[in-house]
Amino acid sequence: MTSFCDLFQTSPQMKILVATSHADSLIEEVCTFLEPFNATVDLSLYPGEHDEYSSAVIGKCDAIKDFSSPIRSATRDYETIILQDVLHLHTFPLKLLQLVYRSLENSAEVIIVQERGVMETSDIEALLEKAEFRAANTIIDLIEGNDVIVAKKMHMWGNGL
């Protein structure tokens, strides 16, 4: 059985951002998996219901006021950014993906987790392409009831940031 965390290319002291409209067991799974790597998981919590829990790997936790607002991040700050049920709700999905692109280190990944059917995967892949992400792959059966789309920021491709 494949785990969601098998998608990560782990390294010591890696840094991940999770932007979500409902913090749930996925974040707990990510934190538990990354703890041996002395990783940091930052959270951007969009409006919605969020489970409460704590983990030693959770760094900053930003409350984002609405779905027009961007995530808060510095350039090339993260190895992976997870957008969980945010992209289809965001007023400016392309601008959000462009910010995610700038926030990722070179050769890093964005992972989009969306409830199946709320947005066509082909539309998500087209947005990723416009935002200069490459090698988009959709994984249908990784999380029950959800589509998982993974794409890469490739150094010296596209914007080359």
Segment 90-103, tens digit of pLDDT: 999 999 999 999 99
**pLDDT at residue 1 is higher than 50:** no
**pLDDT at residue 117 is higher than 70:** yes
- The proportion of the chain whose per-residue pLDDT surpasses 70, expressed as a percent, equals 94
User: What is the per-residue pLDDT for 140?
Assistant: 86
Q: What is the pLDDT of residues 38-92, one digit of tens each?
A: 999 999 999 999 988 789 999 999 999 999 999 999 889 999 999 999 999 999 9
Secondary structure in 3-state letters for 4-66: HHHHCCCCCCCEEEEEECCCCHHHHHHHHHHHHHCCEEEEEECCCCCCCCCCCCEEEEEECCC
| pTM, rounded to two decimals | 0.93
Q: What is the pLDDT of residues 23-34, one digit of tens each?
A: 899 999 999 999
**pLDDT at residue 37 is higher than 70:** yes
| Three-state secondary structure call for residue 129 | helix
Q: What angle do CA 32, 9, 119 make, to 5 degrees?
A: 85
User: What is the per-residue pLDDT for 2?
Assistant: 56
Q: Starting from the edge strand earliest in sequence, which strands make up the sheet with 104-115, in order?
A: 58-63, 40-45, 15-20, 78-84, 104-115, 146-153, 134-139
